[in-house]
């Protein structure tokens, strides 16, 4: 399912680019700016089973994107400056914000040197359980269980199911099936319980992923000390907020802000919703983030920014730099707004 969707997106991007349609549509759809979403930035790794590869781009690609944006004359700005331009209606120049979710160690190792050298501001959204070493990067746990076994069993919908995953093709198919099955669990607890039992049965150490991949508080503090870097909130436990009670949503947002403030002496004014798609963050979450006083909050709903977004600053769309499409021409099409305008049916706001 996810694979099919990616193929359609890629097909759409290629045809938009080669037809030149994005140039024709530009004045209609390009908006006033865009916020880019990134996760990992690191050199490519060997291995054919990398189902989470969409979440990483190479240092070389990031460098090329930054250079291309600079050449194209857009301003690369911080979230605070984006907020100012949006609320004051200052749209003299187009702008792009770079944002990195989850606080991975490669943000310090690879992203920071590139953006520091280029003098480009950026934001990191930190789920506080990750540096607290209590985080569950469940999508990586699932990947590890499937990678290390040729057959796995799982209690699904009231019965024991067995799955073969000896070949790369089987592993990819099984990851997709189980990933979307997990995402569809009615509660976050049910999803986490299923992942925990898989990890326990197949001897995958859940805590090890945080230790290995995520920055510690002292590492985050190095970045937070640089005026180029904005530290944003990304909840405590990185849940799909729509599945929690209203009180729990409020607590996830507010507590994460207080924990970051206690650890780094900076109070985050910006928020990113975990997962961030329609099934993870919607009108209730947008309202709570606004009530709590966040200046901006970002989703992963695809789109560029229009002046009208100043009416819904806690429901902002972003453009994801996807590891499967590391071509500058894709970035140009996405930033033209043409691809996301088609995706959104030419509707500019999507804040419900």
Binding site for Zn ion (CB under 5 A): 101-102, 274
Closest distance of CB 57 from Zn ion, Å: 16
Closest distance of CB 134 from Zn ion, Å: 15
Our CB check for Zn ion shows the closer of 101 and 136 to be: 101
Our CB check for Zn ion shows the closer of 25 and 298 to be: 298
Q: Which residue is nearest to Zn ion (CB)?
A: 101
Closest distance of CB 5 from Zn ion, Å: 19
Closest distance of CB 2 from Zn ion, Å: 17
Our CB check for Zn ion shows the closer of 138 and 306 to be: 138
Closest distance of CB 75 from Zn ion, Å: 26
SS (H, E, C) the chain: CHHHHHHHHHHHHHHHHHHCHHHHHHHHHCCCEEEEEECEECCCCCCCCCCCHHHEECHHHHHHHHHHHHHCCCEECCHHHHHHHHHHCCCCCCEEEEEEECCEHHHHHHHHHHHHHHCCCEEEEECCCCCCCCCCCHHHHHHHHHHHCCEEEEEECCEEEEEECCCHHHHHHHHHHHHHHHHCCCCHHHHHHHHHHHHHHCCCCHHHHHHHHECCHHHHHHHHCCCCEEEEECCCCCCCHHHCCHHHHHHHHHHHHHHHHHHHCCCCCEEECCCCCCCCCCHHHHHHHHHCCCCEEEEEEECCECHHHHHCCCCEEEEECCCCCCCHHHHHHHHHCHHHHHHCCCCCCCCC
Our CB check for Zn ion shows the closer of 32 and 182 to be: 182
Closest distance of CB 183 from Zn ion, Å: 14
Our CB check for Zn ion shows the closer of 33 and 274 to be: 274
Our CB check for Zn ion shows the closer of 110 and 130 to be: 130
Closest distance of CB 342 from Zn ion, Å: 26
Our CB check for Zn ion shows the closer of 33 and 239 to be: 239
């Amino acid at each position: 399912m996810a694979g099919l969707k990616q193929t359609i997106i890629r097909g759409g991007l290629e045809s938009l680019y080669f037809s030149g349609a994005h140039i024709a549509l530009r004045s209609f759809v390009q908006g006033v700016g865009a916020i880019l979403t990134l996760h990992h930035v690191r050199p490519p790794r060997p291995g054919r089973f990398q189902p989470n590869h969409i979440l990483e781009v190479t240092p070389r690609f990031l460098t090329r994107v930054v250079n291309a944006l600079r050449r194209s004359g857009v301003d690369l700005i911080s979230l605070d400056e984006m907020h100012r331009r949006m609320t004051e209606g200052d749209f003299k120049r187009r702008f792009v914000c770079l944002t990195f979710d989850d606080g991975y160690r490669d943000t310090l190792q690879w992203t920071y040197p590139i953006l520091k050298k280029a003098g480009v501001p950026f934001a990191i959204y930190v789920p506080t359980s990750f540096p607290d070493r209590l985080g569950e990067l469940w999508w990586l746990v699932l990947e590890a269980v499937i990678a290390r076994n040729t057959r796995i069993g799982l209690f699904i919908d009231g019965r024991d199911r067995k799955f073969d995953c000896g070949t790369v093709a089987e592993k990819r198919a099984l990851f997709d099936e189980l990933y979307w099955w997990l995402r569809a669990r009615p509660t976050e607890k049910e999803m986490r319980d299923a992942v925990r039992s898989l990890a326990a049965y197949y001897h995958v150490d859940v805590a090890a992923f945080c230790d290995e991949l995520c920055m510690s508080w002292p590492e985050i503090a190095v970045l937070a000390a640089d005026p180029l870097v904005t530290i944003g909130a990304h909840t405590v436990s990185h849940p799909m907020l729509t599945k929690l009670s209203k009180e729990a949503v409020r607590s996830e947002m507010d507590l994460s802000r207080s924990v970051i403030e206690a650890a780094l002496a900076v109070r985050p004014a910006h928020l990113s919703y975990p997962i961030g798609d329609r099934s993870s963050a919607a009108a209730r979450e947008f309202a709570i983030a606004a009530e709590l006083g966040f200046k901006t909050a970002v989703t992963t709903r695809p789109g560029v920014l229009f002046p009208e977004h100043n009416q819904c600053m806690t429901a902002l769309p972003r453009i994801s730099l996807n590891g499967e499409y590391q071509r500058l021409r894709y970035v140009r099409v996405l930033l033209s707004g043409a691809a996301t305008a088609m995706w959104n049916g030419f509707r500019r706001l999507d804040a419900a």
